[in-house]
Amino acid sequence: MAILAGRDIRVIIQGITGREAASFTKDMLDYGTRVVAGVTPGKQGQEVHGVPVYDTVRRALKRHTADASVISVPPGMVREAVLEALENGIKLLVVVSERVPRKDVIDFLEVAREQDARVIGPNTLGIISPERVKLGMAGGPVDDVKKAYVPGNVGIASRSGGMTTEIANLLTTHGIGQSTCIGVGGDPVVGSNFLDLIPLFDQDPETEAVVLFCEPGGIIEESLAEMVISQRIALPIVGFIAGRFMDDMPGVRFGHAATIVEGDKGTAKGKVESFKEAGIHVAESFSDIVKILRDVM
Residues forming the active site: 256
Neighbours of 29 (CB within 10 A): 18
Specify the DSSP element, H or E, that contains 156: strand 151-158
DSSP-derived pairing of the beta strands 126-129 and 133-136:
antiparallel
Angle, CA of 63, 60 and 15, to the nearest 5° = 150
Using alpha carbons, select from 143, 168, 146 the residue that is nearest to residue 155: 168
Burial of 234 (0-12, 13-18, 19+ CB in 10 A): exposed
Angle, CA of 155, 297 and 151, to the nearest 5° = 40
